[in-house]
Amino acid sequence: MRSGDLKKYGDILERKKEELIAAAPARTPTAEPGSKSGDWIDQSSQESDLHVRLALKQTDSKLLRAIDEAIHRIEQGTYGICMECENEIASARLEAVPWTRVCIDCKAKQRG
Kindly list the residues in this chain that would bind Zn ion in the complex (CB under 5 A): 82, 84-85, 103, 106
Nearest approach in angstroms of CB 88 to Zn ion is 9
Nearest approach in angstroms of CB 102 to Zn ion is 5
11-46 b/e (C-beta count within 10 Å ≥ 16 → b): ebbeebbeeeeeeeeeeeeeeeeeeeeeeeeeeeee
Question: What DSSP designation does 79 have?
Answer: T
| Residue 60 or 84 with smaller CB distance to Zn ion | 84
| Residue 49 or 86 with smaller CB distance to Zn ion | 86
Nearest approach in angstroms of CB 28 to Zn ion is 41
Nearest approach in angstroms of CB 75 to Zn ion is 21
| Residue 62 or 109 with smaller CB distance to Zn ion | 109
Q: Are residues 103 and 93 in contact, defined by beta-carbon separation less than 8 angstroms? A: yes
| Residue 11 or 88 with smaller CB distance to Zn ion | 88
- CA 36 → CA 25, 27, 42, distances in Å? 21, 21, 11
